[in-house]
Amino acid sequence: MSSTPPAEGTAAPPRSLVVASLATALEGAALFVAGIVLLVGEGTPQVWAFVVLLGAGVAAAGIALARGTRGARGPVVVTQLLGLGVAFYAAVTSGRPEWGVPLAVLCAAVLAGILTRAGRDWAEQ
């Protein structure tokens, strides 16, 4: 977080929202690293470029929300909902619960942190 106080008339984001948004930024960083691994490996340029750009976008949304940008809340929520879909696919359809279950838990925890009463009240100010 920045060391400057929030502008007059605005409140700093609640702690649950900051923790959830930083977890989202880490998800984005992991996607970015996965894209780089695809680049080094045998991935096609279209795939690794998409993953790198997606990771950068998710990380930017998480950081922006942690810094108090209310407009970043929507992209972070959408990212977590999409992550729940990916987790379901990994755990059930692909038969890889060791990948899907932790992702589902992380996405649900981030959503819980963002959709708390304090987070909703902050977003409506």
- For the full predicted model, state whether its pTM sits above 0.75: yes
- Residue 70 domain-assigned (yes or no): yes
Number of domains in the chain: 1
- Residue 100 domain-assigned (yes or no): yes
- Residue 102 domain-assigned (yes or no): yes
Domain of 89, in residue numbers: 15-123
Q: How many residues does the chain have?
A: 125
Asked whether the predicted pLDDT for residue 72 surpasses 90, the reply is yes
Mean pLDDT of 67-78: 93
- Residue 41 domain-assigned (yes or no): yes
Rounded CA-CA distance 65/77 in Å is 11
Asked whether the predicted pLDDT for residue 91 surpasses 90, the reply is yes
The DSSP code for 89 is I
